[in-house]
Structure 1
Amino acid sequence: MGFLDAKDCKAFMAPISLLLGFFLSGLELTGAQSVGVCYGRNGNNLPSEADVINLYKRNGIGRMRIYEPNQPTLNALRGSNIELIIGIPNDNLQALTDAAAATKWVQNNVRNYWPDVKFRYIAVGNVVHPSDAEAQFVLPAMQNISNAIAAADLQDQIKVSTSIDTTLVENTYPPSQGSFIGGAASSFIKPIVDFLVSSGAPLLVNVYPYFAYTKNPQDLSLPYALFTSPGVVVTDPEGNRGYQNLFDALLDAHYSALEKAGAPNLQIVVSESGWPSEGGDGASVENAGTFYRNLINHVKGGTPMRPGQAIETYLFAMFDENLKTPETERHFGLFSPSQQPKYQISFRDANKYTYMYIALNNRVLMRCIQ
């Protein structure tokens, strides 16, 4: 398959569209606004909600994740066109196993703001583990919230999921060997995966190369974690896929786990990924800036197992949060609480990325990019 940049693509398209005309079986134009930013509020020196929304808009950030239905934030989002992941805290899950309570939650926190607020996903719980007391409530709460969304006739606009972290997958090296840990696969993750498949929702996964690197610096190099390795670091014998960065390897291990769980077509949304600027091993302004810039650029194009598919990704986080612990957790912000950027990052370029596929008789002839 050939590959053209934007300028050559336009030059190619003009005559070919005239020559092939009705013979073209398909022309697919897909925009990929793939990068959002998580808005954590665990600090006592953060800007007002209205100022935060304006900061998103000034920087061209079109997607946001919040962790609870904070009313001032939802009101500030009205009319902003920012697409939203809204979270349900873990300590609220048990109450939502009651269908009436789930209906009331959707009314109060979604229907009262729709369509002025563009809800994209509802994250029912964040990184609940199979051993947690809340684990038994995740799926029933997801089902009740999903039913309430359907009753509001919003099931085509808003999908219900939950967010996990990478500790639920084992055998991540090589990525094709990735699988969900035994107990989780049978009693926790597998029913959730089945629900997501049936409802057409993605799985939300928090993917942090930083933590994987700091736990195993002997085997995982800093360049591999920062997207700066000059060549392939890991070759997966299955499919002969080469991995030049840790982010792709972690993500593809999850796709492998989903395949083994009977969900080969389930999509993953990276609901968090970030790097701290201080407070831990490998944490520095230079490393964090390198990671964020490279991540933003990288997620436009997919992984070795899912090439050509933009990865919807949410950077963690908008601000440093001074009430978090341990110390490292306080320094993941892209901006300081004074709203000053910590790094030179362009979100507008990141979210202007388009694939164009030109097909003849169901065969892709040319892929254009702009």
Structure 2
Amino acid sequence: MGSKILLLLTFINSVSLSTAEFTVGVNYGRVADNLPPPSQVSQFIITQTTINHVKIFDANPDVIKAFANTNISLTITVPNDAVSAVSKPSAAQSWVYDNVLPFLPATKIKRILVGNEILATGDKAVISRLLPSMKAIHSALQSANVEIQVSTPHSLGILSVSDPPSSGRFRRVYDRVIFAPILEFHRQTKTPFMVCPYPYFGYNEKTLDYALFKPNGGVLDKATGVNYTNMLDAQMDAVYSAMKRVGYGDVDIVVAETGWPSAGNPNQFGVSVDDAASYNGNLMKHMNSGAGTPLMPNRTFETFIFSLFNENLKTKGPSPEAPSPSSDTGTKKWCITKEEATDAELQANIDFVCGSGVDCKPIQGGGPCYEPDNVRSHASYAMNAYYQAHGRNDFDCDFSNTGVVSSSDPSYEECAYAA
């Protein structure tokens, strides 16, 4: 398998765990044309690692069968383009009968995920069908007398506030209309709320040690007096605070994705094999220590590292194994709002960016970019900050067709846009 499994090896070799209750798994993405066959992958995981949880982004039968008669627990996914369809009971039952039942009990299918980061798509029609689809899949499993969990992963863009962690809250309106009902489903079915925290998307040169779990002075949450010594705990506690704010602090949390790239853009600070090994190794130690987080002490979180392979056919989004090549040609570029974008769309962009770990302090009261105090100005700054933080790829400025890349510097007075 060669260098494709570099990240997996770096975190396996960087920590030795003897506990039988191993809680760290791996995401097995397959958007590539140069991967070994699933049977070879499963044998590698079984014989060369201590991993016993694997998550895939579809329900590929060859992959599911490759883990038959093993000790691996498999999480499979209803693809995003099928989420709306399976909201109908008959379609959900067909999906379960086609993609789940034929492989039981040989393959240990632990969980079915209905879509992946559906809220981040901004597709209101699909978002409205997410919970009905989760319920329909759950009912189909019950009808088949099968005990398999049902959940769905969320990016941290679901948060409108994440700093400090104790102030974490879901995006406005979505908190009661979307997340409270989803969390009620999880409470009733005893299934986890799944999130994808990525310190990689929020670090800078000053906070690299904080992001990598290395010794550092920490970041103080003045509201609670808690000093956070790693960014992941802060992100997790922000999610917990948001859940607690709507009355569901008792629902378990699972980390569906997190990781750190072993390669990035030329001269990119903080991206190397050593940094990937540091993050993933320290992550494993931390998640299996039982220490939990400051607001969720003495807890162990099931966690999936992203990702097992470089996926050479991916065309959207940076991969924490190896980010997509930047579209940067040496010319400075900025991401700004399109003229036709509505205030509602731009506010959603602000909520997504500021909830994803990007620093939005400059557009908060008293910040250098707070004035003019309007949605369009704030959104332009936030969208550019996200675009710059994610590698300056054109697709990082799309924002559901509300952003555009510009070569004109939008900075003004004391408000400096990154480039």
Matched, 1:230 2:216: yes
Q: Partner amino acid for 1:310?
A: T
Which residue pairs with 1:36 in the alignment? 25
Q: Is the 8 A contact 1:234 1:242 kept in 2?
A: yes
Which residue pairs with 2:375 in the alignment? none
User: 1:242 Cα shift?
Assistant: 2.3
User: 1:178 Cα shift?
Assistant: 0.3
Matched, 1:262 2:251: no
- Indicate how the Cα distance of structure 1 residues 136 and 327 shifts in structure 2: closer, same or farther if over 3 A, else same: closer
Superposition RMSD on alpha carbons, in Å?
1.9
Distance of 1:270 and 1:327 partners within structure 2 = 19
User: 1:239 Cα shift?
Assistant: 4.3
Q: Is the 8 A contact 1:96 1:141 kept in 2?
A: yes
Secondary structure in 2 matching 1:258: helix
User: 1:277 Cα shift?
Assistant: 1.5
User: 1:290 Cα shift?
Assistant: 1.0
- Indicate how the Cα distance of structure 1 residues 332 and 85 shifts in structure 2: closer, same or farther if over 3 A, else same: farther
Match of 1:286 among 241, 261, 274: 274
- Indicate how the Cα distance of structure 1 residues 308 and 125 shifts in structure 2: closer, same or farther if over 3 A, else same: same
Q: Is the 8 A contact 1:87 1:122 kept in 2?
A: yes
- Indicate how the Cα distance of structure 1 residues 305 and 32 shifts in structure 2: closer, same or farther if over 3 A, else same: farther
Matched, 1:273 2:258: yes
Aligned counterparts, 1:107-256, within 5 A: 107-129=97-119, 131-132=122-123, 133-155=125-147, 158-213=148-203, 217=204, 221-231=207-217, 233-256=218-241
Which consecutive residues of structure 2, in runs of 5 or more, have no partner in the other structure? 1-18, 324-419
User: 1:121 Cα shift?
Assistant: 1.3
Q: Partner amino acid for 2:285?
A: N
Distance of 1:144 and 1:101 partners within structure 2 = 9
Structure scoring higher RCO (CA < 8 A, sep ≥ 6) equals: 1
User: 1:69 Cα shift?
Assistant: 0.4
Identity of matched residues, %: 37
Distance of 2:254 and 2:179 partners within structure 1 = 16
- Indicate how the Cα distance of structure 1 residues 197 and 330 shifts in structure 2: closer, same or farther if over 3 A, else same: closer
Q: Is the 8 A contact 1:316 1:332 kept in 2?
A: no
Q: After TM superposition, where is structure 1 displaced by more than 6 Å over at least 4 residues in a row?
A: none
Deviations 1:129-167 (A, max 9, x none): 173142112111101000011112223xx1111110101
Secondary structure in 1 matching 2:115: strand
Secondary structure in 2 matching 1:198: helix
Deviations 1:15-63 (A, max 9, x none): xxxxxxxxxxxxxxx9532100000001110010100101110212100
User: 1:325 Cα shift?
Assistant: 3.1
Secondary structure in 2 matching 1:85: strand
Deviations 1:291-316 (A, max 9, x none): 11111111012111122211110000
User: 1:327 Cα shift?
Assistant: 7.9
- Indicate how the Cα distance of structure 1 residues 98 and 159 shifts in structure 2: closer, same or farther if over 3 A, else same: same
Distance of 1:174 and 1:276 partners within structure 2 = 26
Q: Is the 8 A contact 2:80 2:115 kept in 1?
A: yes
Which residue pairs with 2:329 in the alignment? none
User: 1:67 Cα shift?
Assistant: 0.7
Which consecutive residues of structure 1, in runs of 5 or more, have no partner in the other structure? 1-29, 334-370
Distance of 2:158 and 2:279 partners within structure 1 = 24
Structure with bigger strand share is 1
Q: Which moved more, 1:118-127 or 1:280-289?
A: 280-289
Matched, 1:104 2:94: yes
